[in-house]
A and B are shown apart, each in its own frame.
Chain A
Amino acid sequence: MYWYRKLSIKQKQVVWAWMFLSIPVLFYTVIRFYPTFGAVLLSFQDWNLLGAKTWAGLENYQRLISDPVFWKVFSNTFIYLLLGTPISLVISFMIAYNLDKVNFLHATIRAMYFLPFMTSAVAMAWLWRWFYQPVPIGLFNNILSSLGISQFPFLNSTFSALPSVLAPAVWAGLGFQIIIFMAGLRSIPQSYYEAAQIDGVGSWTVLREITLPLLKPTIVFLVVFSSIGFLRIFDQVFNMTTNDPGGPLNSTKPLVLMIYDTAFNGFDMGYAAAQTVVLFTILLIVSLLQLYIMRER
């Protein structure tokens, strides 16, 4: 280690830095970057996992465009997003806004809302699947029938299957959003509210003119975070529709389930890789939109 002793303090630090980074740099190269390019490359190839890979050019993408299942899945994925994000954000904001003003048993109530976030999506999917069963098994239909209301098909109808799959995902995510919203609300300086108070402004105006604008970073973060979550929905769908993957007439099938099916049931690796590239592009656009909106601030 003679050469090391001859180095200046600054040079020694550089040596340490690269020593610390050596394994991580190797990891990110081999486990993140190389597979990323691998997936993109594979999307231009045709491969059934056994035979040889053959170059397919844009064939996989052309197949996607002309595949009616893909367009169904594509729109499902966005329905998850367009229903899930606004509904969960509005509910969690209303709860956070009011919970913030409650002192009595505050921590207990907060814990009740947060509890579902700690569960595994798989366990909760089976739990909700039981709720949705027809009479005399399912909880919801039992409650409906005890109230004299006719049964609801939930997972068995093309109309209600997707919202039924979405519900447990929204339910489990609320707690997280509430906690983040409350932290955002607490970070708004009290002096703004005091100034509004002196001016005698009504509470609705305060909400619209002070709270919501100042909460913008929190809202943008939660919109992006939950959008990405809903675009990647898989665990719930997979477990709630094991008898009929993707629900009646693919009505609940999201992109990730299609990827899983194409790759690991159909062994159509190139086609599946093309689907992952589409998913990546969608997520990239959402993330870039976030950066763009935050920059305007």
Chain B
Amino acid sequence: MSDIGIKTSAASLNAAKPYNYNKRMEPARVIRWTILFLGGVVMVMPIVFMLSTSFKWPHEIYNLMIIPDDPTIENYTYVLEDGRFYKWFINSLIIATITTISAVIFDSLVGYTLCKFRFRGRMIVFVAILSTLMIPTEMLVIPWYLMARDFGWLNSYWGIMFPGVMTAFGTFLMKQFFESVPDDFLEAARIDGLNEFQIWWTVAMPLVTPAISALAIFVFLGNWTAFIWPLIVTNDPALYTLPVGLTTFSVEQDVEWELIMTGAALATIPTLIVFLVFQRYIIRGVVMTGLKG
């Protein structure tokens, strides 16, 4: 008797359980999943159309078919023929790589110093660096341009890179992550006779690798897609980065949309491949930076 009573109350409890995901009404779950999936398809559709059009002949671009009737790599041959895209690709790759390495090293060194050392002026330096987060790049491009002009940095890799070799955001992020490194580890290394530079590089840095990879992904992606500053500081096509090159290329092509889509695809495919390969790390990195930053 009592057994049945318990069972019914348990059943009513279950019935009033709107949050048990696994026991929800099946149709609702199926509808939810279907809508989400279709939404995801809509999200990737623009990219799919870009890729599809880059394999179409000019007379076919009006066709809504995703798989071209007569796929061609003619557009890619044409776009890559004069070698400009290779050059822009290499420029972007070099600039984004060097900036990323520099930002990772300096941001973590500064973050580490501000986190683990006690000295007069520490707070001032920290607050000063943090306050630069409030200053938008767009406010600095005019003085930077004048500076680059005076020092002869226009149309050079260094001219494109110099504003980004350190980032205040990265410094703040790394400082937060170094908080989780126990001081005892550093003290032990100090007793073993390591100097401060060795302690940072060989003891502290390996302990924050997830943070480093997250920062590296963000800095790289930011520099890879950066537009306004490279646009301002370069006017020599040989030094354009991929986004700036793509802009001039597309303006030139005017109405040859299949060629513009090919250029856009060339600028997009590298990051898409990186994403598909490192998806897990990238999403984890976004969450870490988003929540700590």
Residues of chain A at the chain B interface (Cβ within 8 Å): 9-10, 12-14, 16-18, 20-21, 23-25, 27-28, 31-36, 38-39, 42, 95, 98-99, 101-105, 107-116, 118-124, 126-128, 130-131, 133, 136-137, 139, 142-143, 146, 168, 171, 174-176, 179-180, 183, 187, 193, 196-198, 200, 202-203, 206, 221, 228, 232, 234-235, 238-239, 242, 256, 259-260, 263-264, 269, 272-273, 276-277, 279-280, 283-284, 287
Q: Are A276 and B142 in contact, with the CB atoms below 8 A? A: yes
The answer for the CA separation of A123 and B139 in the assembled complex, in Å, is: 25
The answer for the CA separation of A107 and B275 in the assembled complex, in Å, is: 13
In chain B, positions 201-217 with a C-beta closer than 8 Å to chain A are: none
Q: Are A27 and B166 in contact, with the CB atoms below 8 A? A: yes
Q: Are B290 and A111 in contact, with the CB atoms below 8 A? A: no
Question: Given A142-B62, A259-B138, A277-B139 in contact, is the A16-B166 Cβ separation under 8 Å?
Answer: no
- Residues 77-89 of B, flagged 1 when their CB comes within 8 A of A and 0 if not, give 0000000000000
Question: Given A102-B33, A110-B283 in contact, is the A36-B46 Cβ separation under 8 Å?
Answer: no
The 10 closest A-B pairs by CB, nearest first: A112-B40, A35-B143, A123-B264, A38-B143, A200-B16, A122-B243, A16-B196, A120-B225, A276-B139, A17-B117
Q: Are B64 and A142 in contact, with the CB atoms below 8 A? A: yes
Question: Given A95-B39, A242-B251 in contact, is the A120-B242 Cβ separation under 8 Å?
Answer: yes
Which of A21, A99, A180, A284 is B36 in contact with, Cβ under 8 Å? Answer: A99
Q: Are B290 and A221 in contact, with the CB atoms below 8 A? A: yes
Report which residue of B36, B64, B168, B267 has the largest number of chain A beta carbons within 10 angstroms of its beta carbon: B36
Q: Are A102 and B118 in contact, with the CB atoms below 8 A? A: no
Q: Are A123 and B142 in contact, with the CB atoms below 8 A? A: no
The answer for the CA separation of A232 and B136 in the assembled complex, in Å, is: 8
Residues of A within 8 Å of B190, CB to CB, are: 9
B195 nearest in chain A by CB position: A16
Majority SS of interface residues in chain B? helix
Q: Are B113 and A206 in contact, with the CB atoms below 8 A? A: no
Residues of A within 8 Å of B119, CB to CB, are: 13-14, 17-18
Which of A12, A31, A113, A180 is B286 in contact with, Cβ under 8 Å? Answer: A180
Interface membership of B160, Cβ < 8 A: no
Question: Given A122-B243, A127-B46, A127-B261 in contact, is the A23-B139 Cβ separation under 8 Å?
Answer: no
Interface membership of B18, Cβ < 8 A: yes
Q: Are A105 and B37 in contact, with the CB atoms below 8 A? A: yes
Report which residue of B44, B232, B246, B290 has the largest number of chain A beta carbons within 10 angstroms of its beta carbon: B290
Q: Are B110 and A20 in contact, with the CB atoms below 8 A? A: yes
The answer for the CA separation of A23 and B109 in the assembled complex, in Å, is: 11
- Residues 26-50 of B, flagged 1 when their CB comes within 8 A of A and 0 if not, give 0000001101110111011011011
In chain B, positions 5-29 with a C-beta closer than 8 Å to chain A are: 13, 16-21
Would you give 6 A-B contacts (Cβ < 8 Å), ordered by A? A20-B109, A122-B267, A130-B53, A142-B64, A179-B286, A264-B145
B16 nearest in chain A by CB position: A200
Question: Given A171-B46, A180-B287 in contact, is the A118-B39 Cβ separation under 8 Å?
Answer: no
- The smallest beta-carbon distance between A49 and chain B, in angstroms, is 8
Residues of A within 8 Å of B221, CB to CB, are: 118
In chain B, positions 34-76 with a C-beta closer than 8 Å to chain A are: 35-37, 39-41, 43-44, 46-47, 49-50, 53, 61-62, 64
Question: Given A13-B117, A27-B166 in contact, is the A197-B19 Cβ separation under 8 Å?
Answer: yes
- The smallest beta-carbon distance between A293 and chain B, in angstroms, is 16
Question: Given A39-B143, A119-B268, A206-B18 in contact, is the A21-B110 Cβ separation under 8 Å?
Answer: yes
B112 nearest in chain A by CB position: A20
Task: Determine the interface band of chain B, counting residues with CB < 8 A from chain A.
Answer: 35 or more
The answer for the CA separation of A238 and B231 in the assembled complex, in Å, is: 11
Question: Given A13-B118, A122-B247 in contact, is the A279-B138 Cβ separation under 8 Å?
Answer: yes
Residues of B within 8 Å of A280, CB to CB, are: 134-136, 139
Q: Are B166 and A24 in contact, with the CB atoms below 8 A? A: yes
Majority SS of interface residues in chain A? helix
Question: Given A180-B286, A272-B142 in contact, is the A116-B43 Cβ separation under 8 Å?
Answer: yes
- The smallest beta-carbon distance between B11 and chain A, in angstroms, is 13
Residues of A within 8 Å of B118, CB to CB, are: 10, 13
- The smallest beta-carbon distance between B242 and chain A, in angstroms, is 7
- Residues 229-265 of B, flagged 1 when their CB comes within 8 A of A and 0 if not, give 0011000000000111011001100010100110111
Which of B19, B36, B251 is A206 in contact with, Cβ under 8 Å? Answer: B19
The answer for the CA separation of A25 and B231 in the assembled complex, in Å, is: 28
Residues of A within 8 Å of B263, CB to CB, are: 123, 126
The answer for the CA separation of A234 and B244 in the assembled complex, in Å, is: 13
B12 nearest in chain A by CB position: A200
Interface membership of B272, Cβ < 8 A: yes
Residues of B within 8 Å of A112, CB to CB, are: 40-41, 43-44
Q: Are B272 and A193 in contact, with the CB atoms below 8 A? A: no
Which of A105, A123, A130, A146 is B257 in contact with, Cβ under 8 Å? Answer: A130
Q: Are A35 and B17 in contact, with the CB atoms below 8 A? A: no
Q: Are B138 and A239 in contact, with the CB atoms below 8 A? A: no
- The smallest beta-carbon distance between B70 and chain A, in angstroms, is 19
Interface membership of B123, Cβ < 8 A: no
The answer for the CA separation of A92 and B70 in the assembled complex, in Å, is: 38
A236 nearest in chain B by CB position: B227
Which of A12, A32, A123, A137 is B267 in contact with, Cβ under 8 Å? Answer: A123
Which of B110, B125, B246 is A123 in contact with, Cβ under 8 Å? Answer: B246
Q: Are A24 and B109 in contact, with the CB atoms below 8 A? A: yes
Interface membership of B188, Cβ < 8 A: no
